[in-house]
Amino acid sequence: MLSKKTKYGLKALTYLASMDSKEPVQIAEIAKHENISQKFLESILLTLRRNGFLGSKKGKGGGYYLIKSPDEIQMTTVMRVLEGPIAMVPCVSLNFYEKCEDCPNQDQCSVNKLMLKVRDANLEVYRNNTLADLIP
| 33-90 tens-digit pLDDT | 999 999 999 999 999 999 999 999 998 888 999 999 999 999 999 999 999 988 899 8
pLDDT at 20 over 90: no
Cα 75 from chain centroid (whole Å): 6
Q: How confident is the model at residue 95 (pLDDT cuts 50, 70, 90)?
A: confident
Rounded to whole angstroms, the Cα distance separating 9 from 83 reads 10
- The predicted structure's pLDDT at residue 126: 96
- The listed CATH number (1.10.40.30, 1.20.140.10, 1.10.10.10, 3.10.129.10) that belongs to domain 4-66: 1.10.10.10
Q: How confident is the model at residue 30 (pLDDT cuts 50, 70, 90)?
A: very high
Q: What percent of the chain has pLDDT over 70?
A: 100
Backbone angles phi, psi at 114, to 5 degrees: -70, -45
Instruction: Say which residue, 75 or 20, is predicted with more confidence.
Output: 75
- The predicted structure's pLDDT at residue 69: 94
Which residues in the chain are classed under CATH 1.10.10.10?
4-66
Rounded to whole angstroms, the Cα distance separating 110 from 87 reads 15
